[in-house]
Chains A and B, each alone.
Chain A
Amino acid sequence: MTTAVRTSAQWSETGEIDALTFDVSGETFALDASIVREILDLLPETIVPGARPFVGALVNFRGRIIPLADMRFAFGMARTEPTIDSRIIVVEIEFAGAPCLVGLRADKVNEVRTLARDASEPPPRVGMTWRAELVDCLIKHGDAVIIFPDLQALFDASRGKPDAEIIRYPKT
């Protein structure tokens, strides 16, 4: 846990990154594999009344109580029912200067892939329904586009401001 916590794409010298890819509401996301601590089956969730929807619940991660974040709230995506493939990805991020464990809800966890920087593009200014600062880059992988979110920005942006400013609620 002494290594620096990296929450955006950190390309190696050869211009590659090992990333864990996962699906949320039909989109594929990627995370720097080095910040992933564990992948869990869904756990009983405890709603935190009054918390931002993005981190609106808690789970008991083997005796530690960690927040459960839901990307769908940050990217304004439709809610999906949990399936047999649903997982919680436990990542370690840095928040307010201290390392912090957070669970991320995923519809499906794919695999760890090596992604190349050559295939990446900065988030376009138009043509994307998501706020550009929440996306680190887009990576073309075959026909698909993988979204590499900037987790630091996601968690920082949603801090301490009225929800409506930052987060689109999913249209239910």
Chain B
Amino acid sequence: MSTIDPIDIFRIEAGELLEQVEQGLLDLEQRLDDREQIDAVFRGLHTLKGSGAMFGFDALAAFTHHCETAFDHVRKGHVPATLELVAAVLAARDHMRALVEHPNGDYARQEVALLDQLHAAIDIGARQISPPAQTETVAPLEDAGAPARHWRIRFALPPNSLLNGVNPLTFLDDLRELGACEIQVDASAVPPLDQLDPTALHLRWTVFLEADVCRSEIEDVFLFVMDDMTLEIDDMRGPASAEPPSATDAPPALVTPTEATTPEAKSATEANGVRARRAVESVRVPADRLDELMDRVGELVIAQSRLSQIAAAVANEELRAVSEEIENLSSELRATMMVLRMVPVGTLFERFRRLARDLQHETGKQIELVTEGESTEMDKTVIERLADPLVHIVRNSADHGLETPDERVAAGKPEVGRITLAARQSGGEVIISVSDDGRGINCERVRAKAEANGLVAPGQVLSEKEALQMIFQPGFSTAAQVTNLSGRGVGMDVVKKTIESLRGAIDVESWPGEGAEIALRIPLTLAIIDGLLVRVGAGRYVIPLAAVEECLELAPEQEARSRGRSLLSLRGSLVPFLRLREIFQTGSPPDPHQKVVVISTGAERVGLVVDQIIGDHQTVIKSMSKLHEDVETFSGATILGDGGVALILDIVNLVAAGQDQEARLRAIA
């Protein structure tokens, strides 16, 4: 196993920290006096600076330091958080991201500009605060202005804190700086020498502090470790009953550790740790290891189906019992595996808050971004690939869909335009929709534009649905001119391609004057699909079940009649069909009773003539080798229960290939 480069780990962590800082800043923008967010942003910046310096990202550490200092001022109440400051730090955050990704770039000029903006923002804030109308102090009311108070502080750090570079003595020093301290150490959790792990921290401390400080000042000492530690701060003046009941109330004296007390103390510490909001434990795993595991599980499913075939053939009760047990286990394993790859789409939606904010500035329109169904889960790789298309759709909504505030007021709508990002699960699909309450998509204009670009013939009859799909054609744009927003990077045709590569589909709906909705329908996962296994000649093929509408037998008279035209009549409507035997050139005689699988490509229905329909098949998709990338009729392959390989049909490309072949045949004839 290759080890992971610590620099990469830092990059991942820095990415998360930056995301956290961004979210904090965006929340702060809504509520400028939210202390929790100020602390969160400060903590994020501080950690980023620290670990950046540790991993040799000196430029990042130096730059982050300025922002951290700014937020330290805010935190201490020297300057208030202002919109200007949030904007400056948001801009700085983007620069930090660049520093994380390309630490060796030349950013001198950029940094000067960003720092100027930052300092200007602080100055504005400082001026606001300069009259002695000091904003409310940090201290909660109960602590206001009491002289020399007595505090009892009990704290325990997680056992691995020494490894993480935390030095408990610094906390004691900091507490001593606040006032007179009496410090007791509780060593009851220290195991006997032969079991002692010298790198683990077993000590706990109780500090009696006599000082004129408030609770939050004491908490500040532990600011950076608070999430993982247990901390109890009691005001000793208060009634005894105010003390929280605690299971860990071991006497703070030196107790000789015994076999009996050790596990107890340990479990108590753990219990306490759990209480200190360790709600969800998570492990970070590189995605390719998950993919590897997914592959193995896929192979296990295949091997297992072979086993059950053999078990069915051999009359052995014991073997059959074991085989059934393995079948259950492997299907459970597969279900668990699928869940492992799932992440809530909320992680994706979060990024759009920033986008909406920027769009608001760029367009001058007022935009409210509403997200729904954040907890809907999807395959992680799918989510990553959806990010760019969604950005483009949201940009389009803001740019083309939403009207300016004046227009909106004139149309009797609220001034603030609303873009809704919603996700929900429906069967085996997740539907992610972007809707706005803007002017809607103008069908007439779309049509006119399509005609002008030669995408449709003038006078060709188009349903509203078909017309709306035109926006996904390459080279199509209704915007009279390319603004800063659209026309940057991907176009709608690329959006469509991406969605199709995920085996998804796009629905567009428009209500003139009321808004529009673009819905992406994406299959839950890419790794396993439900398929229909068919045989054509000697080869076996999988047709994605989602595309299958029905199966029927090709009546001999239709077979005979269809020399000139390959059409079959299905409940009154004519459906063209393709003989897979001909497309695949099997060169073997057809089975006497040919079957037709009617599939829908979204736009049209096509019948596929096959020799035999074998049945439905849980298909573990394996991608085709690079050497076969040019074969577009297949999207992948799968291994069957008997160890054979079946190819998975790419319906859209297959139908296109069939049309090409027919065209060639016509040309020859």
A100 near B: Cβ within 8 Å? yes
List A contacts of B584 (CB < 8 A): 49-50
Contact B625 A102 (CB under 8 A): yes
B643 near A: Cβ within 8 Å? yes
Which B residues contact A (CB, under 8 angstroms)? 295, 298-299, 302, 538-540, 583-586, 622, 624-634, 637, 639, 643-647, 657
Task: Return B298 CB to nearest CB of chain A, in Å.
Answer: 8
List A contacts of B295 (CB < 8 A): 63
Given contacts A49-B584, A50-B657, A58-B645, A67 and B633 within 8 Å (CB-CB): no
List B contacts of A102 (CB < 8 A): 625, 627
Contact B637 A58 (CB under 8 A): yes
- A84-101 CB contact bits vs B (8 Å, 1 = yes)? 000000000001101011
Complex formed: what's the CA distance from A50 to B583 in Å?
Answer: 9
Task: Return A103 CB to nearest CB of chain B, in Å.
Answer: 10
Complex formed: what's the CA distance from A66 to B628 in Å?
Answer: 10
Contact B631 A48 (CB under 8 A): yes
Given contacts A47-B539, A60-B644, A65-B645, A100 and B627 within 8 Å (CB-CB): yes
**Which of A52, A67, A159 sits near B625, CB closer than 8 Å?**
A67
Given contacts A58-B637, A65-B622, A65-B637, A48 and B628 within 8 Å (CB-CB): yes
List B contacts of A69 (CB < 8 A): 627
Contact A96 B647 (CB under 8 A): no
Task: Return B641 CB to nearest CB of chain A, in Å.
Answer: 12
Known: A49-B586, A96-B629. 10 other contacts (CB 8 A): A46-B540, A48-B628, A50-B584, A55-B627, A60-B644, A63-B299, A65-B625, A67-B627, A102-B627, A160-B630
Task: Return B301 CB to nearest CB of chain A, in Å.
Answer: 11
Contact B644 A48 (CB under 8 A): no
- Give the number of residues in A that approach B within 8 Å (Cβ atoms): 27
Contact B634 A48 (CB under 8 A): yes
Task: Return A23 CB to nearest CB of chain B, in Å.
Answer: 23
Which A residues contact B (CB, under 8 angstroms)? 44, 46-52, 55, 58-60, 63-67, 69, 95-96, 98, 100-102, 155, 159-160
Complex formed: what's the CA distance from A59 to B622 in Å?
Answer: 13
Complex formed: what's the CA distance from A44 to B627 in Å?
Answer: 19
Complex formed: what's the CA distance from A65 to B634 in Å?
Answer: 14
Complex formed: what's the CA distance from A27 to B507 in Å?
Answer: 58
Complex formed: what's the CA distance from A100 to B538 in Å?
Answer: 27
Contact B627 A155 (CB under 8 A): yes
Given contacts A48-B634, A49-B633, A60 and B645 within 8 Å (CB-CB): yes
A101: nearest residue on chain B (CB-CB)? B625
List A contacts of B634 (CB < 8 A): 48
Complex formed: what's the CA distance from A59 to B626 in Å?
Answer: 15
**Which of B298, B539, B646 sits near A49, CB closer than 8 Å?**
B539
Contact B639 A63 (CB under 8 A): yes
- Between A55, A63, A66, A98, the greatest number of chain B beta carbons within 10 A of the residue's beta carbon is seen for A63
List A contacts of B633 (CB < 8 A): 49-50
9 interchain residue pairs of minimum CB distance = A49-B584, A63-B299, A46-B645, A67-B625, A67-B627, A65-B637, A51-B631, A55-B627, A50-B631
List A contacts of B629 (CB < 8 A): 96
A57: nearest residue on chain B (CB-CB)? B645
Complex formed: what's the CA distance from A47 to B625 in Å?
Answer: 14
- Between B295, B539, B585, B625, the greatest number of chain A beta carbons within 10 A of the residue's beta carbon is seen for B625
Contact A66 B625 (CB under 8 A): yes
List A contacts of B637 (CB < 8 A): 46, 58, 65
List A contacts of B538 (CB < 8 A): 47
List A contacts of B626 (CB < 8 A): 95-96, 98, 100
Complex formed: what's the CA distance from A32 to B625 in Å?
Answer: 22
Task: Return B539 CB to nearest CB of chain A, in Å.
Answer: 6
Contact A49 B583 (CB under 8 A): yes
Complex formed: what's the CA distance from A55 to B643 in Å?
Answer: 20
Interface CB pairs A-B, < 8 A, 27: A44-B643, A46-B539, A46-B540, A46-B646, A47-B538, A48-B628, A49-B585, A49-B633, A50-B632, A51-B630, A52-B630, A60-B643, A60-B644, A63-B295, A63-B299, A67-B627, A95-B626, A96-B626, A96-B629, A98-B626, A100-B627, A101-B625, A102-B625, A102-B627, A159-B627, A159-B630, A160-B630
Complex formed: what's the CA distance from A159 to B302 in Å?
Answer: 32
Task: Return B643 CB to nearest CB of chain A, in Å.
Answer: 6
Task: Return A134 CB to nearest CB of chain B, in Å.
Answer: 16
Complex formed: what's the CA distance from A46 to B646 in Å?
Answer: 7
- Between B585, B624, B626, the greatest number of chain A beta carbons within 10 A of the residue's beta carbon is seen for B626
Complex formed: what's the CA distance from A47 to B634 in Å?
Answer: 12
Complex formed: what's the CA distance from A44 to B624 in Å?
Answer: 17
Complex formed: what's the CA distance from A49 to B661 in Å?
Answer: 13
Task: Return B431 CB to nearest CB of chain A, in Å.
Answer: 32
Complex formed: what's the CA distance from A47 to B538 in Å?
Answer: 9
B624: nearest residue on chain A (CB-CB)? A65
List A contacts of B645 (CB < 8 A): 44, 46, 58-60, 65
Contact B627 A95 (CB under 8 A): yes
List A contacts of B631 (CB < 8 A): 48-51
Task: Return B618 CB to nearest CB of chain A, in Å.
Answer: 16
Task: Return B299 CB to nearest CB of chain A, in Å.
Answer: 4
Complex formed: what's the CA distance from A172 to B179 in Å?
Answer: 98
List A contacts of B628 (CB < 8 A): 48, 51, 55, 58, 67
List A contacts of B644 (CB < 8 A): 44, 46, 60
List A contacts of B625 (CB < 8 A): 58, 65-67, 100-102
Task: Return B649 CB to nearest CB of chain A, in Å.
Answer: 11
List A contacts of B624 (CB < 8 A): 65
- Between B302, B632, B644, the greatest number of chain A beta carbons within 10 A of the residue's beta carbon is seen for B644
Contact A63 B302 (CB under 8 A): yes
Complex formed: what's the CA distance from A102 to B644 in Å?
Answer: 17
Task: Return A64 CB to nearest CB of chain B, in Å.
Answer: 8
List A contacts of B639 (CB < 8 A): 60, 63, 65
List B contacts of A52 (CB < 8 A): 630
Complex formed: what's the CA distance from A146 to B349 in Å?
Answer: 62
List B contacts of A65 (CB < 8 A): 622, 624-625, 637, 639, 645
List A contacts of B540 (CB < 8 A): 46
Complex formed: what's the CA distance from A160 to B630 in Å?
Answer: 7
Task: Return B150 CB to nearest CB of chain A, in Å.
Answer: 64
Complex formed: what's the CA distance from A101 to B625 in Å?
Answer: 8
B539: nearest residue on chain A (CB-CB)? A47
Complex formed: what's the CA distance from A55 to B626 in Å?
Answer: 11
Complex formed: what's the CA distance from A52 to B645 in Å?
Answer: 18
- Between B539, B586, B631, B633, the greatest number of chain A beta carbons within 10 A of the residue's beta carbon is seen for B631
A160: nearest residue on chain B (CB-CB)? B630
List B contacts of A66 (CB < 8 A): 625
Task: Return A104 CB to nearest CB of chain B, in Å.
Answer: 12
List B contacts of A160 (CB < 8 A): 630
Task: Return B409 CB to nearest CB of chain A, in Å.
Answer: 56
Task: Return A3 CB to nearest CB of chain B, in Å.
Answer: 14
